[in-house]
Amino acid sequence: MGSCFSARIRADGPRQEGPSSRYGSIDERNTSSRRSFSPAPLTPRKDSGILESTNLKSFSFNDLRVATRNFRPDSVLGAGGFGYVFKGWIDEHTFKAAKPGTGVVIAVKRLNQEGLQGHKEWQTEINYLGQLYHPNLVKLVGYCFEDEHRLLVYEFMPRGSLENHLFKGTGHFQPLSWNLRMKVALDAAKGLAYLHGPEAKVIYRDFKSSNILLDANYNAKLSDFGLAKDGPKDGKSHVSTRIMGTFGYAAPEYIATGRLTARSDVYSFGVVLLEMITGRRVLDKNRPNGEQNLVKWARPYLSSKRRVLQVFDARMEGQYSTSAALRAAILAIKCVAKEPKYRPTMDQVVKALEQLQLQEEVQKHHGTCAEDYSGKVVSYSDPSPSPISA
Ligand SMILES: Nc1ncnc2c1ncn2[C@@H]1O[C@H](COP(=O)(O)OP(=O)(O)OP(=O)(O)O)[C@@H](O)[C@H]1O
Ligand SMILES: [Mg+2]
């Protein structure tokens, strides 16, 4: 979730070694102006600042303490700026703590800090995820609001985050294959397209590989809505906000102006697609100068048909066709265009990724032509419709 732009407000959080530093400031999320797609009339829940939602379970702290075996260190699934995430078990009917290995597995996120920022993100997460339903958004089961305790209870995602699979490939996590990466990209794109669509009209603002979680079948779902924001209304082009997000993933125009649009999320999507293509973190201080910033480093390669394959993750060698690789590279470079108006919409991204997968199938039997995301058939020797030159 968020931390401070000018001064990091998550410096005392459990994860100090994070690859990408977060930034942001307390912003003016207004829970009283909730969207109209809610299935039931909403009233603020007393004291908590969260909105009543019949579908969310309110857990007692003791329920969750028992469900996670007293927040045992060996139940820890991960840690972020918000706090630790624990594995737990509950009975699927009563929602009471169950014996490990029985009932339903849950992930419990426990806010580890005091103060307004953490509470606001907790509140925003509940107010958005409590009302948004899509197969590519992680399911929020409930929350705990008791004394100083703030917790969130999610469906358990057994394969953890995309970040773990891409960058912690040794031991527990296997590096993802090309096909799985493209599947995850498509799933995540569908989640974002739903958020941007007419039903939700939400800007996610925190799209990054650690917020994409994978279920047992590698279906990808977006988590962490603590920075989400209602999209612009009344014909406005953008929402003005304090700048929040994560270094490297946030769009340059948003950082420069605080003006947030759906195309800011598209930029972040492009960054994650680049991470998937290259197997490199968006920011990596362990790399030589000139290679530490992924987007800057990759841009010239992605613009050259001759050099583009040089940036591809060597762990996927032999798993993709050249034309599919080029299509993914074209899509990534379009998403990270410096000018937001040159970025595709998330609907176009979904289409492009669907075509890419279809084409992989078709190409096993046919020639080497490809389509760009507008649906036009293009040849890569023709530089005009594609940002890649020979
Ligand atoms: N529902 C879940 N099921 C399984 N594991 C989860 C779940 N939610 C989170 N995790 C694990 O916990 C880790 C930490 O998640 P969290 O969202 O708190 O932090 P983050 O996304 O890594 O960082 P940030 O605080 O900057 O967003 C994730 O990377 C993932 O490995
Ligand atoms: Mg997260």
Return all residues near 18 (Cβ < 8 A) that are at least 6 apart. Answer: 80, 81
Angle (CA) 88-93-95 rounded to 5° is: 40
What the block records as the tokens of 60 is: 């007692």
- Alpha-helical runs (H) found in 133-290: 162-167, 178-196, 252-257, 262-278
pLDDT, position 319: 93
Q: Residue 50: its pLDDT value, please?
A: 63
Ligand 1 mutation target, pool 23, 141, 161, 163, most atoms within 8 A of CB = 161
Q: Is 329 exposed, middle or buried (0-12, 13-18, 19+ CB in 10 A)?
A: buried
Q: Which CATH superfamily is domain 162-366 in?
A: Transferase(Phosphotransferase) domain 1 (1.10.510.10)
Exposure string for 32-56, b = 16+ CB within 10 A, e = fewer: eebbeeeeeebeebeebbbbebeeb
User: How far away, in angstroms, is 276 Cα from ligand 1 center?
Assistant: 18
Half-sphere exposure of 67 (CA within 13 A, CB side): 31
Q: Which atom of ligand 1 is nearest to the CA of 13?
A: 25
Which residues, in sequence order, are CB contacts of 91 under 8 Å at separation 6+? Answer: 97, 98, 102, 103, 104
Residue 184 vs residues 53, 177, 353: alpha-carbon distances, Å: 30, 11, 10
- The whole model's pTM is what? 0.85
Active-site residue numbers?
A: 206
Residue closest by Cα to atom 19 of ligand 1: 80
Distance between CA 112 and CA 367 in Å, rounded? 56
Q: What are the residue ranges spanned by the domains of the chain?
A: 14-155, 162-366
Alpha carbon dihedral 327, 214, 34, 203, in 10-degree steps, equals: -30
**DSSP 3-state of 127:** helix
What is residue 46's predicted lDDT score, i.e. its pLDDT? 53
pLDDT at 104: 96
The ligand 1 atom nearest the CA atom of 82: 25
Q: How many CA atoms are closer than 13 Å to the CA of 247, on its beta-carbon side?
A: 18
**Which one of the ligands is nearest to 152 CA?**
1
Strand positions, DSSP E, the chain: 22-23, 57-58, 76-79, 83-90, 104-111, 140-146, 149-155, 202-203, 212-214, 220-222, 229-230, 239-240, 245-246, 259-260, 370-371, 377-378
Q: What is the pLDDT of residue 348?
A: 98
CB atoms within 10 A of CB 269: 27
Going by the DSSP 8-state scheme, the letter that residue 345 receives in this structure is P
Q: What is the Å distance from ligand 2's center to 122 Cα?
A: 12
Q: Give the per-residue pLDDT at 31.
A: 30
What is the phi/psi pair of residue 241, to 5°?
-140, 165
CATH entry 3.30.200.20 includes domain 14-155: yes
Nearest alpha carbon, ligand 1 atom 4: 157
Q: State how far the Cα of 27 lies from the Cα of 7, in Å rounded to an integer.
A: 14
Per residue of the chain (390 residues), give pLDDT as tens. 543 332 222 222 333 333 344 554 323 333 322 222 223 333 445 566 666 655 799 999 999 999 999 999 999 999 988 899 999 999 999 999 999 989 999 999 999 876 677 888 999 999 999 999 999 999 999 999 998 999 999 999 999 999 999 998 656 667 899 999 999 999 999 999 999 999 999 999 999 999 999 999 999 999 999 999 998 887 788 888 888 889 999 999 999 999 999 999 999 999 999 999 999 999 999 999 999 999 999 999 998 888 999 999 999 999 999 989 999 999 999 999 999 999 999 999 999 999 999 988 777 666 544 444 343 433 333 333 345 554
Distance 172 CA to ligand 2 centre (A): 19
Q: What atom of ligand 1 comes closest to residue 208's alpha carbon?
A: 21
The answer to whether 183 is annotated as binding is: no
Tokens linked to 19: 């690859």
CA distances from 354 to 268, 275, 310, 350, 365 (A): 19, 19, 24, 6, 18
Q: Which residue has a Cα nearest atom 1 of ligand 1?
A: 156
Pairwise CA distance, residues 125 & 255, whole Å? 22
What pLDDT, on the 0 to 100 scale, is given for residue 371? 42
Q: Which DSSP state fits 44? A: B
Q: With contact defined as beta carbons under 8 Å apart, do 232 and 32 qualify?
A: no
Closest to 150 (Cα-Cα) out of 115, 199, 106, 102: 115
Nearest to 108 by CA among 137, 134, 83, 74: 83
Q: Which protein residues touch ligand 1 with a CB less than 6 Å away?
A: 1, 22, 77-82, 85, 107, 109, 138, 154, 156-157, 160-161, 163-164, 210-211, 213, 223-224
